[in-house]
Structure 1
Amino acid sequence: MDTEPSMPPGNSQDEIPVYDRRTVTKAIATALGLLVVVGGLFLLIRAQYASPDADKHYKTVADARRHVVDFKTPRPLPGAAVTEHVPVDARTARRVETALADFAGKPVFAVLWATWCRPCHAEMVELDRLYPDLARRGLVVLPILTADKAGAEGARYFYRGKGIGNLPLYTDHGNAMLSAFGTGNLPVGGFISPEGKLLAVTDGLDLLQEPAQALLRSFAETGELP
């Protein structure tokens, strides 16, 4: 005759904890709540330290266009705010006072940059590569050194070091162009109409991407932003 097996000492059925459904549900809800809080903190920290360029992969010209800010009313620009230094590679280069009115009838893309500006370096090299094609399409490209104590000589040194051989060299008179653009961020590009008015400025536009370059080509051919 079988008999009920005896329980080991200290492990009687009366001592086995029993959890009701309400307790289990509450524990699960608490655990899920903690996971949500931890996950939210992780995403917040990740967003804070993520690269600002992480979401800037352009698939279309429209994507690039979102990084261009239009002025409700085109802005007038200083009449003679820049100086051209020619030839670029000569220490005794001539200084030619240049007014934007000299480019009347042509669309202009002016890029304000500085030798101390890290993001400017790659953009200037890429702009140098694009320059012959953009010029052939009728776009006047003005790289204008601004807010830089290095001056024209520092810019020439930069050009030589980066192998820049197509771009002209301009400097900003008293940062007048920078003031006209209304920003302290560099690099910044300005789209200037054939009538000499500042239509829009770039806001983090990445010229290394093809859709941004297509935007420049379109402006070169039409004098208007798509």
Structure 2
Amino acid sequence: MKAHRTAFLALICLAAPFAHRFLNAQATPDADDVTKEITGEIRDLRQVPDAQRGARTTEIALKIRALPAGGDKRKLATGFASYSTESDPGAAALQAVTTTLSQAIKEAPISMRNNRPGRPYMLLAKLVRFEGMTTDLKGPEIDRAQEILAQEEAEIQKTDFTLDALKGQKVQLSDLRGKVVVVNFWATWCPPCRKEMPDLDALHARFARQGLVVLSITQEDTAKVTPFISDMGYKSTVLFDPEGKVSDSFHVDDLPRNFIFDREGKLVAQSVNMLTERQLLAKLAKAGIH
């Protein structure tokens, strides 16, 4: 009897670690499930009211930061950084996103290809350069990303263009010296583009007497753009870049993008993504519009 009891206790002890792991597995969500949950939250971020956007953005950033290190985490952090700039979450929330992206890159770095860093590094560099965020990430990849952005800015600074406007006239950028110019790249199919257009138009009307000009450039055709603009009641100048040559010269790799030139034609500000009225006002102040 004692031998049977001893054998039974030994079996319990042997099984205990497996039972412990099983119970923990039942209590702890699978990493893939957590990732899917966060992906859904990012996708739904566009539906979150602007007043709640900052808190929700920070919450998601912290959830991503807590994920196990790896390529999936880095991809999620990169995609989230793109989504988080589609509104105005506030500087603190955007810094939380930037810190999360930095951490994800440090945990799962990517080697450069053809002397060009991957998208995570380029996006991080844009957040730092265009939005005033900070990062403690160091290394040749982030240094090269910053160098590329500086080179692109120098090329944009030298760019001039002449495009056809919706109303038929031609518009040349260099003819607008003496005015503050917002060069805006957009498309009818782009939700953040549509969201920022009323603010662009309102500020154009508000500061037109101070010399503000908004040039909204699209690669779409007049048949698609004309009814859209009419329905929206958009009054700012719409220009057509059918072959995307101007878009390429401005190194536009995502929509929307905004570039602000002062009265001397100097590029003084640009955006990672869409701009709200508050953000636009802050960037226009760099060009002397108040």
TM range (shorter): 0.5 to 0.7
Instruction: Find the residue that maps to 1:194 and give its secondary structure.
Output: coil
Please give the alpha-carbon distance, in whole angstroms, between the structure 2 residues aligned to 1:77 and 1:23: 74
The residue aligned with 2:265 is: 196
The structure richer in strand per residue is: 1
> Is it true that 1:182 corresponds to 2:235 in the alignment?
no
In the superposition, the TM-score normalised over structure 2's length comes to 0.53
Deviations 1:147-180 (A, max 9, x none): 21x22x532211122233x322222264222112
| Maintained 8 Å contact 1:110/1:142 | yes
CA 122–97 in structure 1, closer or farther in 2 if over 3 Å, else same: same
The residue aligned with 2:76 is: none
CA 24–123 in structure 1, closer or farther in 2 if over 3 Å, else same: same
The residue aligned with 1:58 is: 89
Instruction: Find the residue that maps to 1:169 and give its secondary structure.
Output: strand
Counterpart of 2:157 in structure 1: which amino acid? P
Query: How many residue pairs were aligned?
Result: 195
Question: RMSD of the alignment, in Å?
Answer: 3.8
Q: Which residues of structure 1 form unaligned runs of 5+?
A: 1-12, 87-94
1:30 positional shift: 0.9
Greater displacement, 194-203 / 170-179: 194-203
The residue aligned with 2:157 is: 76
CA 26–107 in structure 1, closer or farther in 2 if over 3 Å, else same: same
| Maintained 8 Å contact 2:178/2:263 | yes
Please give the alpha-carbon distance, in whole angstroms, between the structure 1 residues aligned to 2:42 and 2:194: 18
| Maintained 8 Å contact 1:77/1:198 | no
Equivalent positions of 1:17-166 (< 5 A) are 18=9, 22-23=13-14, 25-27=16-18, 29-31=20-22, 33-35=24-26, 38-51=29-42, 54=45, 55=57, 56=84, 58-60=89-91, 63=94, 66=127, 68=130, 71-72=149-150, 73-74=153-154, 75-86=156-167, 95-136=168-209, 138-145=211-218, 147-148=219-220, 150-151=221-222, 153-164=223-234, 166=235
1:18 positional shift: 4.5
1:21 positional shift: 7.9
Greater displacement, 194-203 / 153-162: 194-203
Please give the alpha-carbon distance, in whole angstroms, between the structure 2 residues aligned to 1:61 and 1:173: 39
From 214, 220, 226, the equivalent of 2:278 is: 214
Please give the alpha-carbon distance, in whole angstroms, between the structure 2 residues aligned to 1:193 and 1:46: 44
The structure richer in helix per residue is: 2
CA 159–78 in structure 1, closer or farther in 2 if over 3 Å, else same: same
Instruction: Find the residue that maps to 1:109 and give its secondary structure.
Output: strand
CA 199–130 in structure 1, closer or farther in 2 if over 3 Å, else same: closer
Deviations 1:69-128 (A, max 9, x none): 784243235423322344xxxxxxxx3222211221333211112234344323323433
Counterpart of 1:183 in structure 2: which amino acid? V
| Maintained 8 Å contact 2:268/2:287 | no
Please give the alpha-carbon distance, in whole angstroms, between the structure 1 residues aligned to 2:190 and 2:238: 16
1:38 positional shift: 3.7
Please give the alpha-carbon distance, in whole angstroms, between the structure 1 residues aligned to 2:178 and 2:42: 40
Structure (1 or 2) with the larger CA radius of gyration = 1
CA 80–198 in structure 1, closer or farther in 2 if over 3 Å, else same: same
Higher relative contact order (CA 8 A, sep 6+): 1
| Maintained 8 Å contact 2:181/2:212 | yes
Please give the alpha-carbon distance, in whole angstroms, between the structure 2 residues aligned to 1:182 and 1:77: 13
Counterpart of 1:215 in structure 2: which amino acid? Q
Q: Which residues of structure 2 form unaligned runs of 5+?
A: 46-56, 58-83, 96-125, 132-145
